[in-house]
Amino acid sequence: MLERERLQEKERSPGLLGRLLRKVDGCDVRFIFDGKMDECMVTVDDPYERKSERLHLFSDNEPVCGRVVLTPKGAYRHNGVLLELVGVIATFEESEEKVEFMRQDKLFEPDTFRSVTSLEFNFAAPREYESYRGMNARVSYYVRVTIYRPVKNITELVEVWVSKVDAHMSETQPDASRHRSYFRETVFGPQSISMDVGVENFLHIEFKYDKKIFHLQERVLGKVTFKIADMDIKYGEVGVVRKEFIGPGNATDIMQSETLQKFEIMDGTPIVGEVVPIRLYLRSIPHLTPTYPNVHNCFRVLYFLNLVLITGEGRRYFKQQEITLYRRHGQEAPTGAATESP
pLDDT confidence of residue 152: 87
pLDDT confidence of residue 8: 53
Regions of the chain short of the pLDDT cut 70: 1-24, 38-40, 48, 176-190, 336-342
Instruction: Please name the residues in contact with 287: beta carbons below 8 A apart, sequence gap of 6 or more.
Output: 45, 47, 260, 334, 335, 336
What dihedral angle (degrees, nearest 10) is formed by the CA atoms of 176, 177, 182, 186? 30
Residue ranges covered by each domain of the chain: 8-164, 167-326
Whole-angstrom distance, CA of residue 210 vs CA of residue 219? 10
Whole-angstrom distance, CA of residue 183 vs CA of residue 195? 24
Instruction: Identify whether the C-beta of residue 289 lies closer than 8 Å to the C-beta of residue 301.
Output: yes
pLDDT confidence of residue 202: 81
pLDDT in tens, 283-329: 999 889 999 999 999 999 999 999 898 888 888 888 899 999 999 99
Q: pTM, whole model, 2 decimals?
A: 0.85
Angle, CA of 95, 100 and 103, to the nearest 5°:
160
Burial class (CB in 10 A: 0-12, 13-18, 19+), 307: buried
Q: How is domain 167-326 classified at the CATH fold level?
A: Immunoglobulin-like (2.60.40)
pLDDT in tens, 121-169: 999 999 999 999 998 999 999 999 999 998 889 999 999 999 999 999 9
Whole-angstrom distance, CA of residue 304 vs CA of residue 195? 14
Angle, CA of 82, 86 and 90, to the nearest 5°:
140
H helix runs in the chain, sequence order: 16-25, 167-172
Whole-angstrom distance, CA of residue 73 vs CA of residue 25? 9
pLDDT confidence of residue 29: 93
Q: In 10 A of CB 143, how many CB atoms?
A: 21
pLDDT confidence of residue 21: 37
Instruction: Identify whether the C-beta of residue 256 lies closer than 8 Å to the C-beta of residue 136.
Output: yes
pLDDT confidence of residue 122: 97
Which CATH number does 8-164 carry? 2.60.40.640
Whole-angstrom distance, CA of residue 189 vs CA of residue 176? 13
User: Would 8-164 and 167-326 be classified into the same CATH topology?
Assistant: yes
